[in-house]
């Protein structure tokens, strides 16, 4: 191979290596920028997840009673919740009905 041919081959190899190195550096910098952007949105994402959890728990706490539920003869709907009415020695007594720790909502 002539001296000129070797120089052309060397130039082509060096150009290929330079292009490969440039591509590697470009990909690394792009990955770094994407990581930085993702990290900057992490607090917003966490806050959105907390807000969604609070909204779901609020909706669950204030959910209406199941549709099929009917009030018993000794139950009344007072203030949007089911109240059990008992008479003790002729005096009415009211006890709020609960489902665990939350009051039962009146059926619609």
* Number of separate domains in the chain: 2
| Domain of residue 51, residue span | 1-63
103 torsion bin: left (phi>0), alpha (psi -120 to 50), beta (else)? beta
> Are 45 and 72 in the same domain?
no
Q: What DSSP state is assigned to residue 71?
A: -
Query: Cα 94 to chain center, whole Å?
Result: 40
What was the pLDDT predicted at 98? 86
Q: Render each residue's pLDDT in the chain as its tens digit; 108 residues.
A: 789 999 999 999 999 999 999 999 999 999 999 999 888 899 999 999 999 999 999 888 887 655 557 888 899 998 888 899 998 888 989 999 888 888 888 876
> Are 3 and 46 in the same domain?
yes
> Are 79 and 98 in the same domain?
yes
> Are 87 and 50 in the same domain?
no
For residues 32 and 108, what is the distance between their CA atoms, to the nearest angstrom? 56
């Amino acid at each position: 191979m002539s001296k000129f041919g070797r120089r052309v081959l060397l130039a082509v190899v060096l150009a290929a290596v330079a292009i490969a190195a440039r591509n590697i550096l470009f990909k690394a910098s792009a990955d770094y920028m994407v990581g930085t952007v993702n990290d900057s949105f992490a607090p917003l994402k966490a806050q959105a997840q907390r807000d969604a959890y609070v909204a779901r728990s609020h909706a669950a706490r204030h959910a209406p009673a199941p549709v099929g539920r009917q009030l018993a003869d000794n139950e009344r709907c007072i203030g949007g919740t089911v109240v059990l009415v008992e008479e003790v020695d002729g005096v009415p007594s009211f006890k709020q009905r609960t489902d665990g720790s939350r009051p039962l909502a009146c059926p619609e």
